[in-house]
Structure 1
Protein backbone atom coordinates (compact mmCIF):
# COMPACT_ATOMS: atom_id res chain seq x y z
CA UNK A 1 0.00 0.00 0.00
CA UNK A 2 1.59 3.33 -1.04
CA UNK A 3 2.19 5.85 1.71
CA UNK A 4 0.51 9.24 1.58
CA UNK A 5 3.40 10.72 3.57
CA UNK A 6 6.62 8.95 2.53
CA UNK A 7 7.54 8.80 -1.15
CA UNK A 8 10.71 6.72 -0.71
CA UNK A 9 13.48 5.82 1.68
CA UNK A 10 16.99 4.43 1.51
CA UNK A 11 19.38 3.16 4.15
CA UNK A 12 23.17 3.15 4.31
CA UNK A 13 24.17 0.39 6.74
CA UNK A 14 27.82 1.53 6.85
CA UNK A 15 26.88 4.95 8.23
CA UNK A 16 23.52 4.00 9.83
CA UNK A 17 21.95 6.84 7.83
CA UNK A 18 18.33 6.68 6.77
CA UNK A 19 17.26 9.04 3.99
CA UNK A 20 13.55 9.73 3.63
CA UNK A 21 11.86 11.60 0.81
CA UNK A 22 8.42 12.81 1.79
CA UNK A 23 5.55 13.26 -0.65
CA UNK A 24 6.00 17.03 -0.22
CA UNK A 25 9.38 16.66 -1.94
CA UNK A 26 11.36 17.42 1.22
CA UNK A 27 14.30 15.11 1.92
CA UNK A 28 15.69 14.37 5.38
CA UNK A 29 18.57 12.26 6.63
CA UNK A 30 18.36 10.54 10.02
CA UNK A 31 21.57 9.48 11.78
CA UNK A 32 22.32 6.51 14.01
CA UNK A 33 19.30 4.53 12.86
CA UNK A 34 19.64 0.81 13.59
CA UNK A 35 19.17 -1.61 10.68
CA UNK A 36 16.11 -3.09 12.39
CA UNK A 37 14.36 0.29 12.38
CA UNK A 38 15.22 0.92 8.72
CA UNK A 39 13.89 -2.53 7.83
CA UNK A 40 10.78 -1.85 9.89
CA UNK A 41 10.07 1.25 7.83
CA UNK A 42 10.70 -0.60 4.60
CA UNK A 43 8.20 -3.33 5.40
CA UNK A 44 5.65 -1.28 7.37
CA UNK A 45 2.11 -1.36 6.05
CA UNK A 46 1.57 2.18 7.33
CA UNK A 47 4.88 3.94 6.75
CA UNK A 48 3.74 7.33 8.07
CA UNK A 49 2.56 5.78 11.31
CA UNK A 50 5.80 3.81 11.67
CA UNK A 51 7.80 6.98 11.03
CA UNK A 52 5.87 8.91 13.67
CA UNK A 53 6.21 6.25 16.36
CA UNK A 54 9.68 4.83 15.66
CA UNK A 55 11.78 7.52 13.94
CA UNK A 56 10.43 11.05 14.40
CA UNK A 57 12.01 12.84 17.39
CA UNK A 58 14.20 9.80 18.16
CA UNK A 59 17.25 10.40 15.94
CA UNK A 60 19.41 13.32 14.95
CA UNK A 61 18.47 14.58 11.51
CA UNK A 62 18.92 17.32 8.97
CA UNK A 63 17.00 18.43 5.94
CA UNK A 64 18.93 17.89 2.72
CA UNK A 65 16.27 18.98 0.24
CA UNK A 66 18.28 22.00 -0.88
CA UNK A 67 21.41 19.88 -1.29
CA UNK A 68 19.50 17.44 -3.49
CA UNK A 69 18.09 20.29 -5.61
CA UNK A 70 21.54 21.84 -6.07
CA UNK A 71 22.95 18.49 -7.19
CA UNK A 72 20.20 18.08 -9.80
CA UNK A 73 20.59 21.64 -11.10
CA UNK A 74 24.26 21.19 -11.97
Structure 2
Protein backbone atom coordinates (compact mmCIF):
# COMPACT_ATOMS: atom_id res chain seq x y z
CA UNK A 1 0.00 0.00 0.00
CA UNK A 2 1.53 3.26 -1.15
CA UNK A 3 0.60 6.69 0.14
CA UNK A 4 -0.42 9.27 -2.44
CA UNK A 5 0.12 12.93 -1.60
CA UNK A 6 -2.80 14.99 -2.86
CA UNK A 7 -3.42 18.65 -3.46
CA UNK A 8 -6.43 19.44 -1.32
CA UNK A 9 -7.32 21.96 1.35
CA UNK A 10 -8.80 19.12 3.42
CA UNK A 11 -6.86 15.93 2.59
CA UNK A 12 -3.08 15.61 2.92
CA UNK A 13 -2.64 12.08 1.56
CA UNK A 14 -4.40 8.78 1.00
CA UNK A 15 -3.67 5.10 0.49
CA UNK A 16 -5.70 2.13 -0.66
CA UNK A 17 -5.39 -1.50 0.43
CA UNK A 18 -6.86 -3.42 -2.51
CA UNK A 19 -6.88 -6.77 -0.72
CA UNK A 20 -8.86 -5.56 2.29
CA UNK A 21 -10.64 -2.72 0.46
CA UNK A 22 -9.58 -0.11 3.01
CA UNK A 23 -9.13 3.52 2.03
CA UNK A 24 -6.86 5.44 4.39
CA UNK A 25 -7.23 9.20 4.48
CA UNK A 26 -4.89 11.52 6.35
CA UNK A 27 -6.36 14.99 6.72
CA UNK A 28 -4.45 18.27 6.76
CA UNK A 29 -5.02 18.52 10.53
CA UNK A 30 -3.16 15.21 11.02
CA UNK A 31 -6.16 12.99 11.79
CA UNK A 32 -6.20 9.59 10.11
CA UNK A 33 -9.30 7.61 9.13
CA UNK A 34 -9.88 4.19 7.62
CA UNK A 35 -12.91 3.72 5.35
CA UNK A 36 -13.98 0.08 4.92
CA UNK A 37 -15.36 -1.98 2.01
CA UNK A 38 -14.36 0.63 -0.55
CA UNK A 39 -14.65 -0.78 -4.10
CA UNK A 40 -11.81 -0.18 -6.57
CA UNK A 41 -14.07 2.06 -8.64
CA UNK A 42 -14.66 4.38 -5.65
CA UNK A 43 -10.92 4.63 -4.97
CA UNK A 44 -10.35 5.40 -8.66
CA UNK A 45 -13.05 8.05 -8.37
CA UNK A 46 -11.45 9.91 -5.48
CA UNK A 47 -7.96 9.51 -6.93
CA UNK A 48 -9.05 11.07 -10.23
CA UNK A 49 -11.44 13.65 -8.82
CA UNK A 50 -10.46 17.32 -9.20
CA UNK A 51 -11.86 17.88 -5.67
CA UNK A 52 -10.85 15.07 -3.32
CA UNK A 53 -12.66 16.61 -0.35
CA UNK A 54 -15.89 17.04 -2.27
CA UNK A 55 -15.73 13.47 -3.59
CA UNK A 56 -15.11 12.18 -0.06
CA UNK A 57 -18.07 14.14 1.30
CA UNK A 58 -20.48 13.15 -1.47
CA UNK A 59 -19.49 9.59 -2.39
CA UNK A 60 -17.84 8.06 0.70
CA UNK A 61 -18.93 9.69 3.97
CA UNK A 62 -22.30 8.37 5.03
CA UNK A 63 -22.04 5.45 2.60
CA UNK A 64 -19.19 3.39 4.08
CA UNK A 65 -18.11 2.39 7.56
CA UNK A 66 -15.12 4.23 8.95
CA UNK A 67 -12.94 4.46 12.05
CA UNK A 68 -10.51 7.04 13.32
CA UNK A 69 -7.09 5.49 13.65
| Greater helix content | 1
Residue of structure 1 in register with 2:52 after alignment: 47
Q: 1:18 aligns with which of 3, 7, 23?
A: 23
1:68 paired residue number: none
Q: How many residues align?
A: 64
Task: Say which one has the larger Rg.
Answer: 1
Structure 1-normalised TM-score?
0.82
TM-score by length of 2: 0.88
Structure 1 segments, 4+ long, off by >6 Å, are: none
**Runs of 5+ consecutive residues of structure 1 not aligned to the other structure:** 65-74
Structure 2 unaligned runs (5+)?
Answer: 1-5
- RMSD over aligned CA atoms reads 1.1
